[in-house]
């Protein structure tokens, strides 16, 4: 399931450009607040969808862990930061949720904005892999994820823009494959992006 805070129109495109490419950091806190509001709506929606008829209302759905789409070393050097990481850490602080860097780029990809839908999806295949030393979600036990069903941890992936779903799906697949092969688990994966194109 993916949800987004806003539609990626001309105004939102300019905001993101001001933040990402021109260094206007003041946009980060505004974008995090917008993500926070979308997160609350997402919580309510998932809670509603997971309720069974005749059951009492319980706590709102919460992910066990937030992670984010990584950028390549070249992109990090170019910008000086990973906007998805900034958004994830801000959302984590806002809602008191743990944030971990679970993924890294296994290859550099060209900017997605210049590609067709099919090219975007194809270029993201095998573009990510898990960072083993950071993948402790199933070993945390009572130290952080004691309410998760064994092997069913809920992971929320954060990114800036959802266009075709290729990037989010590639990240989710990398996490699922690693979890199945290395720890015999099958996590529930959700995603939240600031904008939807």
Dihedral in degrees, nearest 10, Cα atoms 47, 51, 55, 58: -10
Q: Where are the chain's structural domains?
A: 2-196
Report the alpha-carbon distance of residue 27 to residue 162 in Å, rounded: 19
Report the alpha-carbon distance of residue 190 to residue 156 in Å, rounded: 5
What confidence score (pLDDT) does residue 135 get? 75
What confidence score (pLDDT) does residue 141 get? 42
What confidence score (pLDDT) does residue 146 get? 41
Torsion sign over Cα 52, 54, 55, 56: positive
For the domain made up of 2-196, the CATH class stated in words is alpha beta
What confidence score (pLDDT) does residue 147 get? 45
Report the alpha-carbon distance of residue 32 to residue 92 in Å, rounded: 10
> How many of the other CB atoms lie within 10 Å of CB of 120?
19
Dihedral in degrees, nearest 10, Cα atoms 5, 9, 11, 13: 80
Whose structure tokens read 């064994």?
150
Mean pLDDT of residues grouped by 10 in the chain (197 residues)?
95 93 90 97 91 68 95 88 97 96 83 63 80 70 44 90 92 93 88 96
What confidence score (pLDDT) does residue 185 get? 83
């Amino acid at each position: 399931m993916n949800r987004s805070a806003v539609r990626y129109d001309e105004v939102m495109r300019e905001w993101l450009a001001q933040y990402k490419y021109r260094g206007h950091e003041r946009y980060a806190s505004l974008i995090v607040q917008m993500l926070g509001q979308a997160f609350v709506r997402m919580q309510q929606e998932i809670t509603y969808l997971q309720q069974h008829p005749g059951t009492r209302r319980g706590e709102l759905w919460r992910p066990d862990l937030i992670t984010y789409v990584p950028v390549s070393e070249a992109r990090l050097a170019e910008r000086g930061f990973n906007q998805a990481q900034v958004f994830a850490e801000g959302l984590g602080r806002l809602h008191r949720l743990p944030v971990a860097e679970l993924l890294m780029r296994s290859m550099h990809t060209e900017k997605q904005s210049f590609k067709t839908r099919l090219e975007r999806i194809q270029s993201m295949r095998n573009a990510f892999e898990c960072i083993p030393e950071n993948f402790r979600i199933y070993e945390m036990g009572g130290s952080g994820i004691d309410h998760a069903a064994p092997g069913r941890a809920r992971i929320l992936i954060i990114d800036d823009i959802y266009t075709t779903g290729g990037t989010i799906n590639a990240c989710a697949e990398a996490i699922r494959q690693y979890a199945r092969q290395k720890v015999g688990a099958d996590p529930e994966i959700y995603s939240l992006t600031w904008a939807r194109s």
